Amino acid sequence: MRNDIDLKYFKKCLEERLEVITAGQEDLKKETAPVELDQARVGRLS
């Protein structure tokens, strides 16, 4: 194994990237959730 590679630095970078990706996936789930059609009003979504 090479000694000149800072494994702690890269591990921290990967963990931060994982948090960003996970948060993005959760936001995407909320954005793509089905909407309910309010049938009392034409053309309105609730």
What residues does each domain of the chain span?
1-30
38 Cβ neighbours under 8 A, 6+ residues apart: 44, 45, 46
- What token pair was written down for 36? 């309910």
Residue-level pLDDT at 1: 64
Q: Output the CA–CA distances (angstroms, integers) from residue 35 to 5, 7, 31, 39, in the order listed.
A: 49, 45, 10, 12
**Model confidence over 5-39: pLDDT tens digits?**
899 999 999 999 999 999 988 888 887 878 777 77
